[in-house]
Amino acid sequence: MSKILIVDDEKDIVDLISYNLEKDGFSTIKAYDGESSLQIIKTQKPDLMILDLMLPKLSGLDVCRAIRRSPETAGLPIIMLTAKSDEVDKVTGLEVGADDYVTKPFSVKELTARVRSIFRRLKETEKFIAKEQFAYEGLKINYVSCLVSVNGKEITLSPTELKLLFFLTRHPGRVYSRNQIIDHVWGDETFITDRAVDVHIRRLRSQIEKDLENPRYILTVRGFGYKFADIR
């Protein structure tokens, strides 16, 4: 049974989300501030986190940053829950490592659907085993163990970044539009926007590229989309 940590300072919201997720077959853990959520992650090791942006003691953004900085927790899927609907706040959440965001007021059914969607993506990533390994100019990927390294240094990626890298390296040299990337990486998740694709690409590059202004792995094809470098 997948275990989900719900973090929000409003108890009624936590209880509402918990009730509906448990009704859908998930196990839930509750937290009401940022500091305690980090302790819970260490001790109870949840499979996914629903994280409010505005929290006492430690903000949701700071919690997200702390999770992504630690190799032990960097792979934890995070859905950011926030009352802020401005695109800047959504992009900021994605940039610090959130896999998705839901804006209050929200539909519990939609939130549950997004939770299930992330778990489906994780399972799809685990099935990426037709070709076990990939190597190109210092970048090495083991599709089975999900280990990624650049010039011998292990890189820890979020589940979304990993899925994105897996997809692009499966088809080096092939150009994909943002909509095609959404279809292949996120499936039917129509709430993912072109801008969100750009944010995830930028975050992935920040992890694997030496020079963000002149990337050698993930290339931008102006006016169309992205591709992994041509391999000759």
* H/E run at residue 82: strand 78-82
pLDDT in tens, 158-186: 888 998 999 999 888 888 888 888 888 88
| Strands 153-155 and 133-136, bridge-based pairing | unpaired
Cβ neighbours, 10 Å, residue 186 = 23
Q: CA-to-CA distance for 145 and 158, rounded, in angstroms? A: 14
Q: CA-to-CA distance for 201 and 192, rounded, in angstroms? A: 13
Q: Is residue 130 over pLDDT 90?
A: no
pLDDT in tens, 33-76: 999 999 999 999 999 999 998 899 899 999 999 998 888 888 89
Q: CA-to-CA distance for 52 and 89, rounded, in angstroms? A: 12
Q: Supply angle C-alpha 215, 216, 218, rounded to 5.
A: 70
In this chain, the answer to whether the domains covering 3-125 and 156-228 adopt an identical fold is no
The residues spanned by each domain of the chain are: 3-125, 156-228
3-125 belongs to which homologous superfamily?
Response regulator (3.40.50.2300)
Q: pTM of the full predicted structure? A: 0.66
Q: Is residue 92 over pLDDT 50?
A: yes
Q: 156-228 has which CATH code? A: 1.10.10.10
Integer-rounded Cα radius of gyration of the chain:
18
% helix / strand / coil in the chain, to the nearest 5?
Answer: 40, 20, 35
Higher confidence at residue 22 or residue 194?
22
Contact by Cβ (8 Å): 21, 108: no
